Every structure is written in structure tokens, then in C-alpha cells.
Structure 1
Amino acid sequence: MSHPRPRNPVAAPERPGRDLSRPLPAALSWTVLLVFAGAFAIAYLGFDLRWWILALYGGGSVVAFAAYGLDKSAARRGAGRISEQTLLILGLVGGWPGALIAQQLFRHKTRKRSFRRAFWGTVGVNILALGAYLYVVAPPFSL
């Protein structure tokens, strides 16, 4: 007598050749997010960071969070997905804090090594762009 294999609707079956690895520790993501939030608060209060940048990060984070949630739901249902390029662009333009939260809460896009590398690359580019903007708007040393 053959017993049916239990089906796990949350996890997709492993496919050979997929670019999967163990996820980074969740503490790393939360630490990066907390450090960024603290630095952002200091920049906003002390370096004349414009209100619209706060709105850009807030709005972008909400949109990215929703996109990751929709993509995870679509992945579970086997429905049409949101492209990785779209998810990366949402992070690049300021939505990466929301994307990072969604990755951890939904456990989505945390194992695919190539996506993780691209994602963290967009985070780095975004932070460098914000730093360059701050440097131009409020130079650290006024002579």
C-alpha cells in the first residue's frame, strides 16, 4: 500500500540546478535596517534631509512590501509572478527597507543566491546615492 506524500503548500519542491543556498541570518537584515533607520533619523534631523526623501523611502517601502507579498502569494498559487527586475528596481529607488522587512516576514527571496547578491548590491547603490546627496546638500565640514 502506497501512502500519498504529504504536500507542503508553503514550500515549492526543489528543482535541480536552482541557485539556492541557506538564507543569511535574519539578525543581519534586522541589524542593517535598524542601523539605517538610526542614520536616516540623524540625517533627517541634523543634516537638513528634505521631507520628500523621507516620503520616497516610506512610500517606496510600502510599495515594495506589497509587491513582495503579492509575489509570494502568486508563487504559492502558481500564478503569474512579479519579475525579479521589478522587485530590484523597487528596492533601488528607496523601497529596500520595506523589501527587507517583507523578505523576512514572508520568507521570500531569501534563498536564491543570485537575487540576494543583486538585492544587496541595489541597497549599497541606494545608500551611496543618499550619502552623495547628503554630501552635496550638507557638506560635513564647512570652512
Structure 2
Amino acid sequence: MSKFFQALLSGMFFTFILDFFLFLGIKLNYIDYYEIDLYYNILFADNQDFLIFLFFTLLIGYVTLYTNIKLALVFVGSLFLLSFATLIAPIGNSVGAYMLSKENVILQTSRFSYHGDILYNGRKTVTFYDTELQKIIILDKKKIKGKI
């Protein structure tokens, strides 16, 4: 097998592991904190950015195969520590809020207008914290007017 394919496959392997722990921390410390009904696989698949994944695959593959071992260990080890940091509750919650929430949003249906924060924009529903009601509500995307 050529060295390029070895770099590509090792980069994909390490990037999948990093992504797994990143999204695991978000699931445990953001999604479960707000009691959003969402499976890990859906969270992982819907929020995975292909270009970022490809960038880290190529970068990690290059570093692990084409640089010296000390640099590769420090670089990949640092990325693992950053990824594992989401397992710490405040960090995982902050990263989840940064990636998934939108603040100060107005959503309208045919009958009501909601003011608050989008906690999670899912495939069919939107989990929304209404600041006037001070309550988390789930809205059907088909009933929301306009773009979310």
C-alpha cells in the first residue's frame, strides 16, 4: 500500500476517534442536559462537516506519517486532549451551545409567535427555549413560517 493511502487511512482513523469523543461530550453535557430526545448517531451524522473532517484527515495523516514521531505524538495527543475536554460538563455544554444553539430568535407559526433561543435544530423538530414562557418547547418544522 502506498504511503499516501496509509496517511489517508490513519488520518481518517484518528479523526473518527476525535470526532467520537467530541460529539460524545456534546451529547452527554448539552443534549442530555436539556433533555433533548436525540440519538448519538443522528447528532454525529447531522452535524459532521465534511470539509473539516477532510482537512483534519489529511493533516493528521500527514503529521503521523511524514514528520518525526515526537511531533506527531505531541500534535495528535494535544488534539485528543482537546477532544476529551468535552467530557468535562462545563466545556461540553459550552461547545454544544456554540455549535448547536442560536440566541434571540423569533419563530412564528400560524397561531403563535415565539421569542427565545433555539437549543437544537433537528431534522423534523426544533427544540426551543421560550423566554416569555421560560419553558422548553418542541416545534414542528412544517408549521414554522419562514426560514429557521
**Both proteins in one fold, TM over 0.5:** no
Greater RCO between the two (CA within 8 Å, min separation 6)? 1
TM-score normalised to the size of structure 2?
A: 0.29
Q: Structure 1 length normalisation: TM-score?
A: 0.30
Identify the structure with the greater strand proportion: 2
